[in-house]
Amino acid sequence: MKKLGFIGGGNMATALASGLIANRVFKPSDLIASDVEAKRRRLLVRTLKIETTTDNVAVMRESAAVLLAVKPQTIDAVLTELGRSAENRATAGVRSSRSKPVGVSIKSKVFISIAAGVPIARLEAALGPDARVIRVMPNAPAMVGQGMAALVRGHSAKPSDEAFALKIFRAVGDAIPLKDESMLDAVTALSGSGPAYLYLFAKALADAAVKEGLPPRLALQMALKTIRGAEETMRRSKLAAADLIRIVASPGGTTEAALTRFGAAGFSGIVEDAIHAAAERSRELGRAS
């Protein structure tokens, strides 16, 4: 029995598997992954030395925990396949008078879903009310070991299931448990989509500096280092963000001139509107399902 199986072997699954192996949470022999693309399966075998297959049901059958890492557009088909397989095998086992049931017990597995916008109710409806479901919202920086994930456990999931999921995502960054699933819409808008906002801001900083005379490569290098340094300062400091801003922004100086222009353009309001738009879209996707 594998400790963890991945259904879907894309970038996030690869990042998680890599982090788990690198941090010695699991050995390669503890993991298995399914994917429809032969190229992706070969990559997983070559780089991580884990077992791969095209058979999603085999992953469920052979794993104590199953991580659903498929796109929201395809998860319904995968859930139906897993649910029907468990039902059919259990029925076949009951009808056999010469052998014990051979069915896959759904409630003996932990299902961890990272499919964006797919609510717990939809997962449990497909897998059954006894399914032990954990819904997680990770983000792309997990691919470089700097992820931020939030998770909520379903009705039948145990505290030990939550602890297991936290261990997985803490192998590639930070992870926190939440009690209210509706908070995942705000999480999606902040940390899930957030990396794109920072990429946009870094690009804007660098592009503006180029217009002021810096070479493009140097401008981007300085923008990224500035963002990283400011993040580290903010993380270590006990001061509030407003206090840190005041330390940098001397009265009548260059920083104050820039901040005044940010304020006139409604920078904080723009950020608020953007986060609201992302959160509302997450809610819409959940309702549409």
Could you give the CA distance from residue 213 to residue 268 in angstroms, rounded to a whole number?
A: 28
Instruction: Tell me how far apart the alpha carbons of residues 287 and 268 are, in angstroms, rounded to a whole number.
Output: 29
Same CATH fold assignment for domains 4-182 and 194-287 = no
pLDDT band at 88 (very low <50, low <70, confident <90, very high): low
- In this prediction the pTM is 0.88
pLDDT in tens, 53-80: 999 999 999 999 999 999 988 999 999 9
CATH T-level topology, domain 4-182: Rossmann fold (3.40.50)
Cβ atoms of 35 and 9 within 8 Å: the answer is yes
Domain boundary assignment for the chain = 4-182, 194-287
Alpha carbon separation from 169 to 12, 15, 24, 127, 256 (Å, rounded): 11, 10, 13, 23, 40
pLDDT, one tens digit per residue, over 201-233 is: 999 999 999 999 999 999 999 999 999 999 999
194-287 placed in CATH 1.10.3730.10: yes
Token duo for residue 244? 């840190």
